[in-house]
Amino acid sequence: MLTSIQWIYLVLILLIALAGAYYPFAKPGRVRTKGGFPRGEAFSAGVFLALSLTMLLPSAFHIFQKQLPEINYPIGSAIAILAFLSLLAMEHMTMHSIANEVDHERLPARIPLVMTTMIALPSFFLGATLGLSDNIGATLIFIAIILHKGTAAFALMLTMVRSTLSRSQTVVLFTFFVLITPLGIIFGGFVHNELTTSTTLIKATVLALGAGTFLYMGTMHEMKHAALIEHCRKRNCFLAMVAGLLITALVRFMVGEAHRF
């Protein structure tokens, strides 16, 4: 169902998520906010933007136009916008919940639950688009995923160990987070290899959802702490973002159509 390289990517994504969460889980009494990897996050933001607008969305347009020629409406754009706004709404709710609880010594369990749900949805679609993609496209998506997966795992585990969740509850909830991207990869691989008229439309829908998700991850994810806002005001990070965007756009130009049918 998946190619050998996609299985390798799946295993590496699992390992990176576990590595990112190890320190806060192993030493909950000493966890603290880290500086992160600003240039890497900025680079991944550029990759996300280019993947969304030069690969995923055009491919979704192409499939919908081919399969539903009688519908004169940009269905792919509508689905991408829906994904973008849904994620934005979820993050708003999460941020407001956290803001109302910051003065508490231990965060209530619902906060990591909501955060995990918010992160899980885009993680699934990121994985699904990787499973749908071939060769260079899958590699670019993999790079974009790993550049933020470890940081996301660290931040999520940090919130979990600072909450009222027990250790066993933390393990169960984090396991769900770790597995959601690989499950998306397997789902995308299944859709890609079982193409019929109906599954082709599913593929187009997933690509459009992925486009909206990638656009969101590259621009609004973490809101005021988003890479484009927090990091790209610095010249080196801005250049890293532009490099990620241009490299991905150049690869798209060189390989031609991102998803063939």
CA distance 113 to 78: 29
Q: Exposure of 192 by Cβ count < 10 A (0-12 exposed, 13-18 middle, 19+ buried)?
A: buried
Most confident of 36-45, 162-171, 190-199, 225-234: 162-171
Tokens of 261: 């049918």
In a domain, 30, yes or no: no
CB atoms within 10 A of CB 180: 20
In a domain, 89, yes or no: yes
The pLDDT confidence band at residue 33, using thresholds 50, 70 and 90, is very low
Enclosing domain of residue 80: 4-19+38-68+76-255
What pLDDT is attached to residue 32?
A: 42
In a domain, 192, yes or no: yes
What pLDDT is attached to residue 127?
A: 87
In a domain, 235, yes or no: yes
CB atoms within 10 A of CB 241: 25
CA distance 156 to 259: 33
What pLDDT is attached to residue 81?
A: 92
Give me the mean pLDDT over the 147-158 stretch. 75
In a domain, 260, yes or no: no
What pLDDT is attached to residue 78?
A: 93
pLDDT by residue (tens digit) across 68-90? 888 888 899 999 999 888 888 87
In a domain, 99, yes or no: yes
In a domain, 155, yes or no: yes
- In this prediction the pTM is 0.68
Question: What is the tally of structural domains in the chain?
Answer: 1
CA distance 3 to 142: 14
Q: Which amino acid is at 5?
A: I
